[in-house]
Structure 1
Amino acid sequence: MKKIASIVLLLMAAVSILSACGSSQSGGTMKKFVIAYLPGEANDESAKLNKDFEDKLSAAIGLPVESYKATSYNAAIEAMKNGKADMATFGPFSYIVAVDRAKVEPIVGISMPSLANSPASVIIVPKDSDIKTVADLKGKTMGFVDPVSTTGHLFPKSLIVDELGIDPEELESGFFKSIQFAGKHDTAVLGVVKGQYDAAGVSGMYPEMLVQKGLIPKDSYRVIAQSGPLNATPVGIRSTVPDEVKQKVKAFLLGYNNPEYFQNLFGMADAKFVEVKDSDFDNIRDVAKQLKLSSEDLLK
């Protein structure tokens, strides 16, 4: 927890990746701009808000805007690498992988002021579990979200390494009974509540979000460990997107103000797009180094 508590960047691990399928550029001229979302909670309201966002972006950049749901962080990064994706909202860890693997660069970040003092990641257990501490996780079934999820894998894993003072490789070779990846933060939370996992590492905002939506009872889980907060999560764009388009996209995002959109998609009405630079995520690279993980390891 010592290292994680000092990290200042956002989560959201969750929660959505903007990328694409189907080439959007041909011969140096963009034909369309594609946004794809990672698997998450889908509902009519979010679909409506996404469509409104895409229509307004289209008008601002003078290109058709399309959307596609990626199946994983890896799939989204590969789509960016292959020129089939134009923009993605990444968790910090998946962002640094995308920079290495797909030559992605930051266009803006997403900041959530109301989460400035809240944990980015938590490790939760069922309310009646005999697991009281991180040490009690030994020999248990552990649920994570995705191998390159910041708040749903790397931060919780770093919490355990820091608190127990063990080698990261020990977590992969016998510490847990088994490790399972749920694919989504809400699925991981539900997996704990329903007894599929003994514990799970998820974004700090998700358990309470599911309580507020009536998907789980308020007292159905306990938090046994938590990380420090994050400031912003990066939105990446393909470096080969024409500069004129990049500038139009950036201007649109920085000027976008729709509390309903941010509330529905990110759980916080005060969320907003902000300026970021690649060096803002160097401390995330330090955590990956602490866990002895390269870009190739993160994508396995």
Structure 2
Amino acid sequence: MKRMLSLLLLIVATVSVLSACSSAQAGAMEKFVIAYLPSESNDSAAKLNKDFEDKLSEAIGLPVESYKATSYNAAIEAIKNGKADMATFGPFSYIVAVDRAKVEPIVGVSLPSLAEAPASVIIVPKDSDIQSIADLKGKTIGFVDPVSTTGHLFPKSMIVDELGIDPEELETNFFSNIQFAGKHDTAVLGVVKGQYDAAGVSGMYPAMLAAKGLIEEDSYRVIASSGPLNATPVGIRSTMPEETKEKLKSFLLGYDNEEYFENLFGMPDAKFIEVKDSDFDNIRDIAKKLNLSTEDLLK
């Protein structure tokens, strides 16, 4: 009898522990944490982020905190481990986050002004002898981050498609050196300052940096451009309570601060829109073509 009672108590205790763990994952939240990804930062952005967070807090009824992640992978790991609840990803880092951290899309960021503009460009210094993608052989190239869409996936895809070479050859025999700058603006500056012979970056960044006076307008040349990008996904922790998800989505879709969008995304007409996971299947296809697996990218 004592043995049966002990066994019963053990079962009850085990169920209680598992229930507590489950509640911590999907139960009531004490706060909402935003992980901001690496990008150009300034005082205006910090002020606008704070205003956004204050209004979000009112809408979802939770204190909102934020921090700057050191990389896309750091933000993904934070969401996976319950240390962050939301991040704005590029489409490529988003599909990695889905596989690694079971992230789900809550909204997307649409940039109507850039609907027909190239999402990604490959740039070289203005006085470089590089005139085409073929001329990049034996050169040093700077990408942004291994899981950046416009700063790695798209420019690499452009090179493979243009030259018809195997992705493995591109990694091992084509360039003299491949480096990752960490941020788009750092990659652009790396080209202008001669650190890289070329760089693959978001199509909007070179002109944006020139408009802000950080580089000269004629300090670089574009030698290749990709097609446009549909939307940038905002991903959330999938174990978040459904009520919080609904409040969050309603707030984001109704948020219309033009100054916020212009400062953080470069365009005052940017807005949050409805998206679904299958909207990014074309990104999965490109990653597959380039043999870029989420397992390798997260090592």
Is TM > 0.5 for Structure 1 vs Structure 2?
yes
Structure exhibiting the larger radius of gyration computed from Cα positions: 2
C-alpha distance after superposition, 1:212-253 (max 9, x if no partner): 000000000000000000111110111100000000000000
- Closer, same or farther: CA 179–214 of 1 in aligned 2, 3 Å: same
Matched ranges for 1:34-113 at <5 A = 34-113=33-112
- Residue equivalent to 2:6: none
Alpha-carbon offset, residue 27 of structure 1: 7.3
Q: Structure 2: how far apart are the matches of 1:203 and 1:80? A: 25
| Partner SS state of residue 83, structure 2 | coil
- Residue equivalent to 1:114: 113
Percent identical: 84
| Partner SS state of residue 281, structure 1 | helix
Matched ranges for 1:1-300 at <5 A = 28-300=27-299
Q: Structure 2: how far apart are the matches of 1:41 and 1:233? A: 17
| Greater alpha carbon shift after TM alignment, 155-164 vs 34-43 | 34-43
Supply the AA of the counterpart residue of 1:189.
V
C-alpha distance after superposition, 1:13-63 (max 9, x if no partner): xxxxxxxxxxxx577220000012122222111110000000000000000
Q: Structure 2: how far apart are the matches of 1:284 and 1:128? A: 34
Alpha-carbon offset, residue 299 of structure 1: 2.2
Q: Structure 2: how far apart are the matches of 1:276 and 1:107? A: 7
With structure 1 as the length reference, what TM-score do the two structures score? 0.91
With structure 2 as the length reference, what TM-score do the two structures score? 0.91
Structure 2: gaps (5+ residues): 1-23
| Partner SS state of residue 29, structure 1 | coil
Supply the AA of the counterpart residue of 1:191.
G
Q: Structure 2: how far apart are the matches of 1:195 and 1:26? A: 48
Q: Structure 2: how far apart are the matches of 1:80 and 1:104? A: 8
User: Contact (CA 8 Å) 2:38, 2:72: kept in 1 or not?
Assistant: no
| Partner SS state of residue 30, structure 1 | coil
| Partner SS state of residue 236, structure 2 | strand
Supply the AA of the counterpart residue of 2:184.
H
Alpha-carbon offset, residue 146 of structure 1: 0.2
Alpha-carbon offset, residue 118 of structure 1: 0.2
Alpha-carbon offset, residue 294 of structure 1: 1.1
Alpha-carbon offset, residue 156 of structure 1: 0.2
Supply the AA of the counterpart residue of 1:74.
N
User: Contact (CA 8 Å) 2:37, 2:87: kept in 1 or not?
Assistant: no
| Partner SS state of residue 134, structure 2 | helix
Structure showing the higher helix proportion among its residues = 2
Supply the AA of the counterpart residue of 2:87.
A
Structure 1: gaps (5+ residues): 1-24
Q: Structure 2: how far apart are the matches of 1:254 and 1:87? A: 15
Q: Structure 1: how far apart are the matches of 2:152 and 2:223? A: 16
